Structure 1
Amino acid sequence: MMALQLLEFPLAREDSGKAPAFPAEDVANFRKCSRYCCITFFIQQDLLHMHLDTIDMRILSEIQEDASLTNAELAARVGLSASPCLARVRALDAAGIITRRVALLDPMLLGADVSVFIQVTLEKQTEALLDVFEAAMAGFPEVMECYLMTGDSDYLLRVVVRDTVALQHFIVDRLSKTRGVANIRSSFALKQVKYKTALPLEELASPRARR
């Protein structure tokens, strides 16, 4: 998922005979958007070929709240017998809608007391540097989320560490030494007001799927 903002490009006057002059920041943002938006578009187009009905949505709602449900328990909750329920779950798996099943851990009980949001700006917004940075973030276990952004910074990270000493080690010894990194800005989360992993399926469902 990408965080997007409206990009406004200046238009040339019809009588000027000159091409519009695009600000460098807007051109860079457009390149970053086009890098991922095209991929997202084709994925969404593929998903349109699989029609999700009300029962599919109920199955998804149940398992994203509790992935430990047995097939028999899930079938009972959605009003199906075991075999049709299992067939639907397998179809959702095959379509890539269900990507994986995991257990959610309590970070505080495991010592992950510090949650930090870090904005990273690269020296240049080139394909090569974007690839290098993203590969590095994929290899850092402290990085829980990483988003390519428009605006002043290139990336937004959510990092979880045990304390400020560990955060300093991560930023100074690892993040800042990643090739292409030019600027780092961090903000501590004082309190987690809301956190969820379950998607708002009812709000995301198309009018056709709600029937």
Structure 2
Amino acid sequence: MHNTQVNSLQLDRYDLQILRELQRDAGLSNQDLAERIGLSASPCLRRVRQLEEQGLIRRRVAILDQRKLGLTLSAYVMVSMDKHTPDRFSHFEDALAKCPEVLECCLITGMEADYLIKVVATDMDHYQQFLLGTLTRIEGVSSVRSSFILRPVLESTQLPLEHLRR
């Protein structure tokens, strides 16, 4: 969403505060959220619903600890396709959407790959099964290069809203 689109939505300081607080903790009750931003519960709920209807709040999620759940291996995988056609890309994207190991998939430019995907697995055996049993079997995949994450340095799901200040 471009800044002009955001401005046309008429976000005020309460809306921005709601977005900031829900990014920090999507599980806040409406009452707690209202208290944090300085509104009563009813107008706060109305604003949250409006932000959802506008598509600014797509969904609310819980962020799980993947290591504690046994998903100790993470990798960024660059995938190149043999043909650059809409049908080929669509088929790949549909197949990848069915893979629980895939956390993110982005069509990219500027690299010697067409897609960058983030994958989690329990261990190298699990990753190998995904790689050889699923990913490389998708029609059109011509090359795969994996980079394993040694340790995360910075992780965030919060979008920077500071540029939206009024």
TM-score band w.r.t. shorter chain? over 0.9
- Aligned pair count? 165
Instruction: Name the SS for the 1:99 alignment partner.
Output: coil
* Counterpart code for 1:63: L
Q: Which residue of 2 aligns with 1:132?
A: 91
1:188 aligns with 2:154: no
Question: How much does 1:150 deviate?
Answer: 0.8
2:44 to 68, 85, 92: 85
Cα separation, 2, equivalents of 1:139 and 1:171: 14
Contact 1:116 1:160 in 2 (8 A): yes
Would the aligned equivalents of 1:145 and 1:158 in 2 still touch at CA under 8 Å? yes
SS of residue in 2 equivalent to 1:51: coil
TM-score when scaled to structure 2? 0.94
**Where does residue 116 of structure 2 map in the other structure?**
156
Give the structure with higher Rg (CA): 1
Are the counterparts in 2 of residues 118 and 158 from structure 1 also a CA contact under 8 Å?
yes
What is aligned with 2:80?
121
**1:107 and 1:113 in contact (8 A); partners too:** yes
Distance (Å, rounded) in 2 between the aligned partners of 1:128 and 1:79: 50
Residue of structure 2 in register with 1:172 after alignment:
132
- The counterpart of 2:55, out of the listed 96, 107, 131, is 96
Tell me the equivalent position of 1:52.
Answer: 11
For the residue of structure 1 that corresponds to 2:151, the secondary structure is coil
Tell me how far apart the structure 2 counterparts of residues 47 and 65 of structure 1 sit (CA, whole Å): 21
Deviation of 1:50 after TM superposition, in Å, equals 1.0
CA distance in 1, matches of 2:27, 2:116: 32
Name the counterpart of 1:111: 70
Mark the runs of 5 or more structure 2 residues left unpaired by the alignment: none
Moved segments of 4+, more than 2 Å: 44-49
8 Å CA contact 1:47, 1:95 repeated in 2: no
Using the TM superposition, give the Cα deviation of residue 45 of structure 1 relative to its aligned residue in structure 2, in angstroms. Answer: 6.7
Normalising by structure 1, report the TM-score. 0.75
Q: Please tell me the root mean square deviation across aligned C-alpha atoms, in Å.
A: 1.5
Give me the whole-angstrom Cα distance separating, in 2, the residues matched to 1:48 and 1:131.
33
What is the identity percentage for the equivalent residue pairs of Structure 1 and Structure 2?
Answer: 46
SS of residue paired to 1:176: helix
- Aligned-pair CA distance for 1:49: 2.9
